[in-house]
Amino acid sequence: MKKTLVSLAAASLIVTSAMAADKGIDIVTTGQAVVYYETHQTNGTNDNYPGTGDTKLFDQQSSTANVGVQLNLDADLKNNFTFGSQLTYLGTAGLEKNVVNKVKQSGGATADTKDQINITKIFIAKKIANTTVKIGRQELPKSLSPFAFSEGWNVFKNTFDAVLVVNSDIPDTTVVGAYVSGGNSSTNIGTMNNLAVGRTSAGAGVAVNGAAYMLTVANKSIPMTSITASYYDLAQVQAATNEGASVIWGDVKVAGKDLPMGLKLGLQGGQIKPENGTALANTTGLGVKVGLAPIDALTLCLAYTTVDGDNTKTNVALKNAGGIKTPLYTQMIYNQDAIALDSDTFMVKAAYNTGDYGKIIAQYAGSTTGKNSSLITRNAKDTDYGEFDLIYKVKAGGVQYFAAWINRSWSEKNTATADSDNVVRVWARYNF
């Protein structure tokens, strides 16, 4: 007799599918398959990369990879109820044997090379007139939740345990309310944790032991202008007094066919504000960007952001509470720790679309950071950071391909940290 072992996650989806079939409910199946690889050449030992000492591109100790498959099962439960679930497999297909050191994105408690299967989404939604209520594990978009959003830079997006309410009764206006109790992270989708504000790439931020309550209003009543304002109430922020904190963030974008040369303007700003300010400092950030399209295939962008710091209290970086990236205009592939706190950053970007042969993007960002920056400590000194990204994207045969070369540099170096890093990142993604 042959025995078949099924994980708890897979079994729950099988049971769900069987119940749906018994009741005559059609399940729509979609998904994606991904191969993801990254390698570093760096002269530091403590910059969150595998290996020790100097590393070289394409060496096993300086490389990470994943092979992943996601399966979405969605159903219309009738009476305006819908159901969604997502089963995610993350592994390496044996690449750790001779090609890579560990995974880029973990599906479990540690970033090891063991195969992992998780339920990354499972929710019920109900639509009542112009209001939709969605309860369960789900993605949250950055456009409507700038401080608790699903990041798309890694193999798969992170998700949140949340109650989401979306209403469109007011003309040209979308009102979004959310209760977010926690989520997984963009580096480990297999472990559900509390939210954490100001999380760095190398470690945890300031934990939110309670829940997050969010209200966002997005309005397009003004011609060529979209205005989005968000407010968060964060309960039980971990500090000496376990005080709460609030976040307010606004974004204004101006774009339209009547503007010359495809002109686009953006203005953003806001603050993370502790409840009484005894242990945590206020953090304020501002950003501005200008975009142009001088010809149909070419777009240009110039952006500037500034975030303050505090020398007397614990600083909280302007970062995603469920990941490691920022909502700032100057966010690139790897520069989040340089731009999110005690930093002034400018960015220039050019993108050229060749049509069938793909898109080429070149971008550079330079940051001047203070001692309170989210960067790994560098001799307790102000540090200049620079990053140049050269990116190529193309879709062929139904597969989306991505290749990037990232050059990073720091003005300060000590015995552990690098002052230079070259990165090659490639992935292929097939959506079905």
Q: Is 23 exposed, middle or buried (0-12, 13-18, 19+ CB in 10 A)?
A: exposed
- Do 186 and 154 contact (CB within 8 A), yes or no? yes
> What's the confidence (pLDDT) of residue 368?
93
How many CB atoms sit inside 10 A of residue 45's CB?
A: 15
In DSSP notation, 312-381 reads SSB---S--TTSS----TT--SS-HHHHSSSEEEEEEEEEEE-STT-EEEEEEEEEEE-TTSSSPP-TTS
Q: How many CA atoms lie within 13 A of 197 on its CB side?
A: 33
Please write the tens of the pLDDT for every residue from 189-242: 988 888 887 765 555 567 788 889 999 999 999 999 999 999 999 888 766 567
> What's the confidence (pLDDT) of residue 51?
43
> What's the confidence (pLDDT) of residue 2?
35
> What's the confidence (pLDDT) of residue 68?
95
The amino acid present at 326, given as its one-letter code, is T
> What's the confidence (pLDDT) of residue 206?
77
Strand partners, 123: 84, 136
Please give the backbone phi and psi of residue 97, each rounded to the nearest 5 degrees, phi first: -65, -40
Please write the tens of the pLDDT for every residue from 74-94: 999 999 999 999 999 998 888
Predicted model pTM: 0.90
> What's the confidence (pLDDT) of residue 236?
80
Positions of E strands within 256-338 = 264-274, 283-295, 298-307
DSSP H or E stretch at residue 225: strand 225-234
Angle at 247 between CA 245 and CA 251, to 5 degrees: 175
Angle at 316 between CA 245 and CA 165, to 5 degrees: 45
Under-70 pLDDT residues of the chain: 1-23, 45-54, 109-115, 199-205, 238-241, 277-278, 376-380, 415-416
Look up residue 311 and give its two tokens.
């020398």
Question: Closest Cα to residue 86, out of 136, 149, 144, 37?
Answer: 136
Please give the backbone phi and psi of residue 16, each rounded to the nearest 5 degrees, phi first: -60, -45
How many CB atoms sit inside 10 A of residue 327's CB?
A: 23
* DSSP reduced 3-state for 220: coil
Could you say which DSSP state residue 203 is in? B
> What's the confidence (pLDDT) of residue 20?
54
> What's the confidence (pLDDT) of residue 6?
45
Close Cβ partners of 425 (under 8 Å, ≥ 6 residues apart):
37, 38, 333, 402, 403, 404, 406
> What's the confidence (pLDDT) of residue 412?
80
Gap between the Cα atoms of 430 and 32, Å rounded? 5
> What's the confidence (pLDDT) of residue 309?
85
